[in-house]
Amino acid sequence: MKKCRILLIVGLVLLSSISSFSQKRSKGGDVATAGMARIPAGSYQPFLKVNNQAVTIKMHSFYLDAHAVTNAEFLEFVKANPQWSRSKVSKLFADGNYLKQWAGDFTIGNDRIFNSPVTNVSWFAAVAYAKWVGKRLPTMEEWEYAAHSAPVNAPKGEKLATIILNWYSRPTPAILPNVESTFKNGFGVYDMHGLVWEWVYDFNSVITGDDSRSSGALNRQLYCAAGSQNAVNKEDYASFMRFAFRESLKANYTVANLGFRCAMDIK
């Protein structure tokens, strides 16, 4: 029993020192990766089966923003690229609710949301922002891999799945909380669950059909797919919801609780 406790403490200390190390390094060394966490290489089991089999995917190491892009950060991008301001943006690239929470083209107008994640941004806008800061959007695999790490500062005994389900079951607050206000996970990344949904680069790569009940009987008329994409764990409701959400999107959609964060390769 005592041994266990000591081991646990040692483990925790080790973990926190690792994450602070990587942060320090990124702050001191490479300006471009400031505010990013280095996600270590590893493997994980994706939610969807491949050819009806659960698979384990090997993941490379990459950088991921420690928090989602904020309204204040996105404002800098819009100022530098006025074609992405509310009144100028092409309807092809962002629907009518684009940056609806802002007061104007170049004003947020509500200092309570400066450090909240920017939402009501389309996939096209997110891709353009990422390009502007020299980064890219994470792929769905990268995002899911980074998000499967358990929270380190969660209340005792609270499972990740429970935290996620609880968030899903509450409507979005009128004022979104600041970034880094929810849980930090084992990779040193904040708010992967519990703050906003996030765009991923290849969100349109999930082919299950919109009716979740027919998964496994994909319409061959509409899809050319080698295997149906069934869920590995039918009780993983949190993942069901995330995948259902992605499937309901089109790239020019903007949603009040959908933001994004950026990723970067390790050079």
Partner 1 sequence: MKTTHQVKAFNVLLLGMSFAGLLLLQGCFSKSDSNSDAANLGKLAGEYTATLTSAPEVPPSKPWLKRPEKVIVNIEVIEKTMKLANGVDYTYWTFNGTVPGPFIRVQEGDEVEVHLSNDPFNKMPHNIDFHAATGPGGGAEASMTAPGHTSVFSFRALRSGLFIYHCAAAPVGMHIANGMYGMILVEPRGGLAPVNKEYYIVQSEFYTKGANGDTGLQEFDLEKAIKEQPEYVVFDGHVGALTGNNAMQARVGDKVRLFVGNAGPNLTSSFHVIGEIFDNVNQEGGSIVNHDVQTTLIPAGGATIVEFTCKVPGTYTMVDHAIFRAFNQGAVAQLQVSGDENPDIFSGKTKDTLYFPDNSKNTDVPGKISQR
Partner 2 sequence: MKNILFKILPALLLSVSLFSCSKNDMQGDKGNMNKAQKTMSAQKESIAQNSLYQLSGDWTNQYGKEVSLNQLTGKVQVTAMIFTHCGYACPKMVDNMKAIEEKLPKELKNKVDFLLISFDSKNDTSARLNQYAAQKQLDDSWTLLHGSSDQVRMLSMLLQIQYAPLQGGGFNHSNAITILDKEGGISQRIEGLEINVDQAVNAVKEAVNRS
User: Residue for token digits 């390790």?
Assistant: 266
Residue numbers 147-176 binding partner 1 by CB under 8 A = 165-172, 174
| Residues 39 and 62 sit within 8 Å (Cβ to Cβ) | yes
Stretch touching partner 1 by CB under 8 A, among 51-59, 71-79, 84-92, 256-264: 256-264
Report what 172 binds from partner 2, partner 1, none; CB cut-off 5-8 Å by kind.
partner 1
Closest distance of CB 78 from partner 2, Å: 11
Reduce the DSSP state of residue 262 to 3 states and report it: coil
Stretch touching partner 2 by CB under 8 A, among 5-13, 101-109, 181-189, 217-225: 217-225
DSSP 231: B
Closest distance of CB 24 from partner 2, Å: 25
User: Residue for token digits 């493997």?
Assistant: 43
| Residues 68 and 260 sit within 8 Å (Cβ to Cβ) | yes
CA distances from 69 to 16, 36, 55, 249 (A): 24, 11, 32, 20
CA distances from 105 to 87, 89, 93, 217 (A): 7, 10, 16, 46
| Residues 187 and 146 sit within 8 Å (Cβ to Cβ) | yes
Q: Is 213 in the site for partner 1 (CB under 8 A)?
A: yes
Among 156, 157, 224, 235, binds partner 2 (CB under 8 A): 224
| Spatial CA neighbour of 252 closest among 77, 134, 14, 93 | 93
Closest distance of CB 36 from partner 2, Å: 14
Task: Name the token pair of 190.
Answer: 């904040």
Report what 221 binds from partner 1, partner 2, none; CB cut-off 5-8 Å by kind.
partner 2
Stretch touching partner 2 by CB under 8 A, among 21-29, 79-87, 103-111, 234-242: 79-87
Reduce the DSSP state of residue 141 to 3 states and report it: helix
Report what 202 binds from partner 2, partner 1, none; CB cut-off 5-8 Å by kind.
partner 2
| Residues 64 and 138 sit within 8 Å (Cβ to Cβ) | yes
Distance CA 113, CA 121 (A): 15
Residue numbers 100-159 binding partner 2 by CB under 8 A = 123-124, 127-128, 130-132, 134-136, 139, 141
First vs last C-alpha separation in the chain: 44
What is the x/- site pattern for partner 2, positions 33-62, by CB under 8 A?
Answer: -----------------x---------x-x
Residue numbers 192-211 binding partner 1 by CB under 8 A = 197, 209-211
Q: Which residues form the interface with partner 2 (CB under 8 A)?
A: 50, 60, 62, 81, 83-84, 90-93, 123-124, 127-128, 130-132, 134-136, 139, 141, 201-202, 204-207, 219-226, 250-252, 264-265
Q: Which residues form the interface with partner 1 (CB under 8 A)?
A: 97, 165-172, 174, 197, 209-214, 219, 235, 237, 240-241, 243-245, 247-250, 253-258
